Structure 1
């Protein structure tokens, strides 16, 4: 999630990279032929590391010592460097004046404002930062800042240390619910600890500070309001010191204790934290920090981290690579957080105190749902299955308390920040990756209810059945709804995850229902543009579409969201026009990784699946190269080493961990893993079953991402997905890696990872591909430099299989590329008028008809698309000119997709079909219900232009009617919206002009009943099955 303080969370656009592909020498390993391939790997990719990997290096035995907590403390990742243990309640860490959201620490700052007890790693909005404590010397100043130098600062997993310029050295460590500090002051009678209780990152209220004795203080503060939401929580603390303080005072929300260190300069403090009560904080401290041995406590934290990080052992690689890997894994295991006390009590979402369920160790909180379901939840389940199981149970308990699952919760409050229904994916992901010790029946029951009845987590739920997407002009009510297109895709992801979870539990009915509804993404993909885009409730697309716009999206644009169908990439590719078009799209959107408009922003979640989608279209070598390029550009062993995006409670760090292992959990709710290539010579993953999965990378090096061949348990493995039993039974997956691509490995259609279509019959794909010129072989119509700005020149260029040359022949007569239309400049009608790319606007200047001689005639000017002087020079700008039949005006359109024909069966009763009455062809012939008989009067063609055709005519709404009861008839195909029909996942056929559904009046089963249009209602009278 990006900061909501910058508009829609989108940073200012960066300059676009120049057009053109980076040439990468590829060797076809199987054929022994040297090839030159082009695809979108930015110029910095595949850089050789300054260090070389050590072949046969020993396994890492102390991974915690490799963690660099300063990675991600600059450049907006918003991680923090302080002391913590895996999933702990306490994160005792420094805050600096810039105080980035959640993490509170900016490496570029040079002073510290306090060491607060709670932090959240990169949430995108201010959060936590509760109970800052600042050591000072001399007069009390609650506005004090302590300057420092990074040369006097250090941190590792579980501990932090800094020598401040005021001569105080602060050392911090933690247990799950407590922290310990060792302060070394100069010799003074004015050694102060300032408690800035009102300085939680979002402010504090209801503060209390009590001196229990001369060695103990306690108190509380209320904060919350994450991203401006109404959630609040109260955190309680209790601190004991190893010597009496000499003075204590309170001023407003600030308090202080003062010590005399003229004799002994070292002061130790232990703090307990609770979200229930001060008594709970005392009990937590007493149970977890009974003694005063700081070094032993720090060592215990280090050991705890080794236990968690050691679930994935690596061998080889450079020191920087090892550090980045284990730091990413460390960041992935900071959240969610224990919220229950040692006695099992926790404060619930309903404002009451509850006790952890029997059989579970703790209750957990802090779910960045929109982010973590894509990568972190699966990793958490894989390496910490009991924590993931306890977290799933906590989510079920949250549902029991409030009637909804958490979406983006902070401690014991829901904020409703971000969109979608991520709980379904999180819980299903936990289960799929081996965390199954929770009430799965209650989870499924609750998730089904949340997916089927109106609730605050799913605003607009009613639109999923009709019209089958979140409309631009819909009414959504409460709870932070925005981004209708993005939300549709998020709901689809949630529905598919729910389907997979239901299937895993043996509930085939709900599995089928939600697998089908997950196909609603098709309602947002405009086949004419090839992009998901805003759409009104009546089925019309909003005007002025620009794929670089964020309208109706969330923290991204249409370029990025078009690829976000992680459970059905094959279906998406087909809907865009086939694998070649999909490949060109990916090549283009992945030309840059840092968020220039029209390109991927791999530092943010909606883009992180894109590099893996090549696996699904027969080009896994591009996944291998692109993932390595992303690793090298986005991650580094430095404070800015998680570039250009929040860590989002470990979601981005988890991506790096998965990618370094050479795999990624693409499909929500399943354990399907798309394959890349491993970064290390060996990784050994201890699975929830206790078995191990060993991943060997023979020849692994930073500049050797390409898989030459692979085996699993000694047998050849030629698939771009992990074996189905790899995560349950374990085994050994061995790659032979190289510096040049084997383009044939795992390239077969059968080698692609699974895609899931449900039982929805997809419409034919669009007519899309290259538009070739007649003046000479190998020349195509091309958008100059792949530009998408209005006015971009359209030119002649060598055919290069890029997205700038993928033209869609739309049903309205337009020719579209990059989401825009081929346009005659200024609606010109004279010879020599230039053609260009322009936002589609429905004018005749953008309508073209194909002549039998290969000409493309413009509807407004009646002139032909023309190559000036029959030039064959690349870069020649095209124009319109009097039609003359020369080669300069001959163009070959992309081939039309194969039409699908057969019976359209009715849902009102078995054996009934849509029928052209009497097999007549006259305009106005009724379209009726009739017993299925296989005749040509019932042979309906589902055309690529969204028409339904029978006997040479089109199904038509009589008189272009828009009211209930409008009759449906046969009529000459005329390209109007009255003849457009869209199939939904629930079996409805929605008319493009009226937004009404094809309907059997009164659910009649009488043969001869003429069909009509009627308000969509989900009844059997409106359910139709198209030919497969």
Structure 2
């Protein structure tokens, strides 16, 4: 037998089928991306849309903080590990049920718990680190509603302390309760509240158990160990002390609930059962692999694939599951406990002003089952509360940000073919928030909006210096008018789909009232007073300050200036071109980028690179700027997100940009086309709604940064540089080409 280069040259044997190695999509995720540069992500262990997150705190949160990040890359010490942590949020929240580790005698002081650290390991569903000063390895993983920690002492020279510290979290409220139960079980709650200055609070309930035999278990109150069965307050907690000679490895299991400690314990029993740490880690890893594997990409450098899958990972963290295993969920606006009765999964934590733009359209395409249940959750909130929420958190509305941002989500979901929710009731709630003149918590200033067609600068319901999200003051009258317009268009879309022509006409007209704020002299949407006069003096570059804080936006604008809102009428590009004039529209859009007015760190203008597709013959500029913006702002490093990820909004933008399709106007089921990043992307759609179809998006070898022809996967040419959602599904995907003959 002759063997060449390891190949045996002999009579062929019966063919053996070799199973292709399974792709581990989780290994292509770098959870450290976004942990600096105000990205506000963290490297902890999470599950897709999970209630819990086991994550390190490398800051001390016993004192008040205005920074929403629980972890910032490069900070020298780890202080604790907590079980409820949110990713990419703009105000301090959660960081709850923190566990602190120390060696030797217990000491309440922060310095006794903090430790330098190294050898961090993280991937979806797992985080591990060496606590150098404590000589302890800390590892953690999660289920949907529980966390699991493993602490391994490197030596037996000193006792190992595991301390539940109820006086530490991101919330501006520092207090909680701990109660002993039989079997080394501690139950209770920690209070969270005052999110973004909103005077509301909630209890986050927990049930904590340890694996091992502590030499002592004591409750702590007023910073001292006490002989009591229950403690409460800002200096309260529970202290487990272990002898490493007997228990070198200690595991802590924590169940979470937003309803009760009993439910937290039930969640713990149901989801962790008798599973070992490694079993839980493997299960959540497989969960991530399944969800990330909905999109398979080919080609591109290793770093490019890492950036893409990390962005997809960050896009499917929020909203989060809020109902317990028995279906209970908190309905704090009406002070009740609701139950899903097994009909849907209840979600919470809707950063809607951000996420309606990219996150929810991504979910509607790739994860429609979850998007359906998120929409059902919004409608059920309306049924119970009387209002579709604006920025819902842990069972109550914080009313944060501006506009009426749930409406584009509902409209987009329905227009994408996800229709098995109570759309008639949804439309009722949408109309209510758009027409109620008095005591409307969702749309401050609505009377002027309905009467004048815009929100005036000189009567906003109060003094800007006294601004809060709940006292009726309008933040950024220009921006808020444009947001109301877009939400009204969502109403029009749903009304039209349901055959309600009169309602459609009413809200379609209302959605175009932005024409009242367009100033032909400056070619900007400009603040206007009640009497119809323009705000004077006026500087479209001014972004200091409207309300809230110095950089909160120029007069009339929210978190930006006139440039960031110059094209923010995503539902009415044709009308905007008419009132601007096509030449002004085109030149101003080019000026947006040439003079560097575009801001990828915030939401209002993130659609703008795609708008050249609306200018015949200038589609190449969309292809140029989308790729330039993506490559400049997103990369495989801790500062690889350009700003606050805003519950996955910026990350979802990158996912769409890399795929080469972008939903520039949620509620209009159309994608703008730009150059795909990768040679091929295969989107594996679920059976629900999409019948298990596969969409293949690929580009020919000739396509570098630019293309000039697109075909559906079935060979049918695409007309122009946008594609309808249903046509994309029917055509089976897209192929981008560059032909010299065109």
| Counterpart selection for 1:540 from 502, 511, 533 | 533
Q: Which runs of 5+ in 2 are unaligned?
A: 1-19, 223-234, 463-470, 543-553
Q: Which residue of 2 aligns with 1:235?
A: 204
Change (3 A) 1:171 1:479: farther
Separation of aligned partners in 2, 1:148 and 1:427: 47
Q: Does 1:218 align with 2:218?
A: no
SS in 1 for 2:452: coil
Once the 2 structures are TM-superposed, how far is the Cα of residue 294 of structure 1 from its aligned partner?
0.8
Q: Does 1:146 align with 2:147?
A: no
Separation of aligned partners in 1, 2:256 and 2:39: 26
Q: Which moved more, 1:237-246 or 1:157-166?
A: 237-246
Question: Relative contact order (alpha carbons < 8 A, sep ≥ 6): 1 or 2 greater?
Answer: 2
Change (3 A) 1:103 1:433: farther
Separation of aligned partners in 1, 2:174 and 2:317: 27
Once the 2 structures are TM-superposed, how far is the Cα of residue 658 of structure 1 from its aligned partner?
0.5
Change (3 A) 1:203 1:212: farther
Change (3 A) 1:614 1:59: farther
Separation of aligned partners in 1, 2:95 and 2:702: 41
Deviations 1:868-913 (A, max 9, x none): xxxxxxxxxxxxxxxxxxxxxxxxxxxxxxxxxxxxxxxxxxxxxx
Deviations 1:355-380 (A, max 9, x none): 33445332111011110011111112
| Kept after mapping to 2: 8 A contact 1:392/1:430 | yes
Once the 2 structures are TM-superposed, how far is the Cα of residue 243 of structure 1 from its aligned partner?
1.4
Question: Counterparts in 2 of 1:22-421, with a 5 A limit?
Answer: 61-97=23-59, 101-142=67-108, 143-144=110-111, 145-150=113-118, 152-165=119-132, 166-185=134-153, 186-188=155-157, 190-213=159-182, 215-247=184-216, 248-252=218-222, 253-255=235-237, 256-358=239-341, 360-421=343-404
SS in 1 for 2:207: strand
Change (3 A) 1:734 1:514: same
Change (3 A) 1:553 1:59: farther
Deviations 1:785-835 (A, max 9, x none): xxxxxxxxxxxxxxxxxxxxxxxxxxxxxxxxxxxxxxxxxxxxxxxxxxx
Deviations 1:731-780 (A, max 9, x none): 13101259xxx8x97xxxxxxxxxxxxxxxxxxxxxxxxxxxxxxxxxxx
Q: Which residue of 2 aligns with 1:707?
A: 707
Q: Which runs of 5+ in 1 are unaligned?
A: 1-57, 594-598, 746-1028
Change (3 A) 1:116 1:286: same
| Kept after mapping to 1: 8 A contact 2:56/2:81 | yes
| Kept after mapping to 1: 8 A contact 2:150/2:251 | yes
Q: Which residue of 1 aligns with 2:619?
A: 620
Change (3 A) 1:423 1:111: same
| Kept after mapping to 1: 8 A contact 2:323/2:329 | yes
Q: Which residue of 2 aligns with 1:605?
A: 603
Q: Which residue of 1 aligns with 2:551?
A: none
Separation of aligned partners in 2, 1:396 and 1:429: 14
Separation of aligned partners in 1, 2:731 and 2:277: 40
| Counterpart selection for 1:694 from 693, 696, 704 | 696
Separation of aligned partners in 1, 2:727 and 2:251: 48
Once the 2 structures are TM-superposed, how far is the Cα of residue 518 of structure 1 from its aligned partner?
0.6
Change (3 A) 1:187 1:726: farther
Q: Which residue of 1 aligns with 2:584?
A: 581
Once the 2 structures are TM-superposed, how far is the Cα of residue 60 of structure 1 from its aligned partner?
8.4
Aligned residues: 674
Change (3 A) 1:88 1:354: same
| Kept after mapping to 2: 8 A contact 1:180/1:270 | yes
| Counterpart selection for 1:591 from 594, 602, 611 | 594
Q: Which moved more, 1:382-391 or 1:370-379?
A: 382-391
Once the 2 structures are TM-superposed, how far is the Cα of residue 724 of structure 1 from its aligned partner?
4.6
| Kept after mapping to 2: 8 A contact 1:240/1:269 | yes
Once the 2 structures are TM-superposed, how far is the Cα of residue 474 of structure 1 from its aligned partner?
2.3
Q: Which residue of 1 aligns with 2:226?
A: none
Q: Which structure has the larger Rg over C-alpha atoms?
A: 1
SS in 2 for 1:104: coil
| Counterpart selection for 1:569 from 550, 569, 573 | 573
Q: Which residue of 2 aligns with 1:856?
A: none
Separation of aligned partners in 2, 1:283 and 1:707: 55
Separation of aligned partners in 1, 2:458 and 2:421: 40
Separation of aligned partners in 2, 1:64 and 1:723: 31
Once the 2 structures are TM-superposed, how far is the Cα of residue 421 of structure 1 from its aligned partner?
0.3
SS in 2 for 1:471: coil
Once the 2 structures are TM-superposed, how far is the Cα of residue 86 of structure 1 from its aligned partner?
0.6
SS in 2 for 1:392: helix
| Kept after mapping to 1: 8 A contact 2:92/2:171 | yes
Q: Which residue of 2 aligns with 1:656?
A: 654
Separation of aligned partners in 2, 1:737 and 1:140: 69
Separation of aligned partners in 1, 2:628 and 2:69: 27
| Kept after mapping to 1: 8 A contact 2:333/2:397 | no
Once the 2 structures are TM-superposed, how far is the Cα of residue 511 of structure 1 from its aligned partner?
2.0
Question: Counterparts in 2 of 1:694-773, with a 5 A limit?
Answer: 694-699=696-701, 704-712=704-712, 713-737=714-738
| Counterpart selection for 1:462 from 447, 451, 461 | 447
SS in 2 for 1:295: helix
Q: Which residue of 2 aligns with 1:36?
A: none
After superposition, the CA RMSD in angstroms is: 2.0
Q: Which residue of 1 aligns with 2:545?
A: none
Q: Under a length normalisation based on structure 2, what TM-score does the superposition of the two structures give?
A: 0.88
Separation of aligned partners in 1, 2:577 and 2:509: 18
Once the 2 structures are TM-superposed, how far is the Cα of residue 730 of structure 1 from its aligned partner?
5.0
| Kept after mapping to 2: 8 A contact 1:268/1:292 | no
Question: Counterparts in 2 of 1:959-970, with a 5 A limit?
Answer: none
| Kept after mapping to 1: 8 A contact 2:327/2:342 | no
Once the 2 structures are TM-superposed, how far is the Cα of residue 709 of structure 1 from its aligned partner?
2.1
Once the 2 structures are TM-superposed, how far is the Cα of residue 649 of structure 1 from its aligned partner?
0.3
| Kept after mapping to 2: 8 A contact 1:87/1:338 | yes
| Kept after mapping to 1: 8 A contact 2:33/2:640 | yes
Separation of aligned partners in 2, 1:500 and 1:700: 39
Deviations 1:310-362 (A, max 9, x none): 11111111111111111101101000011111000111033433333445332
| Kept after mapping to 2: 8 A contact 1:583/1:617 | yes
Separation of aligned partners in 2, 1:118 and 1:140: 25
| Kept after mapping to 1: 8 A contact 2:78/2:117 | no
SS in 2 for 1:325: helix
Once the 2 structures are TM-superposed, how far is the Cα of residue 725 of structure 1 from its aligned partner?
2.1
Question: Counterparts in 2 of 1:766-845, with a 5 A limit?
Answer: none
Deviations 1:217-267 (A, max 9, x none): 112011111111112111000111111322223033332221122133111
Separation of aligned partners in 1, 2:510 and 2:419: 26
Separation of aligned partners in 2, 1:436 and 1:610: 29
| Kept after mapping to 1: 8 A contact 2:445/2:473 | no
| Kept after mapping to 1: 8 A contact 2:355/2:647 | yes
Change (3 A) 1:299 1:484: same
Once the 2 structures are TM-superposed, how far is the Cα of residue 85 of structure 1 from its aligned partner?
0.5
Separation of aligned partners in 1, 2:255 and 2:332: 22
Q: Does 1:523 align with 2:516?
A: yes
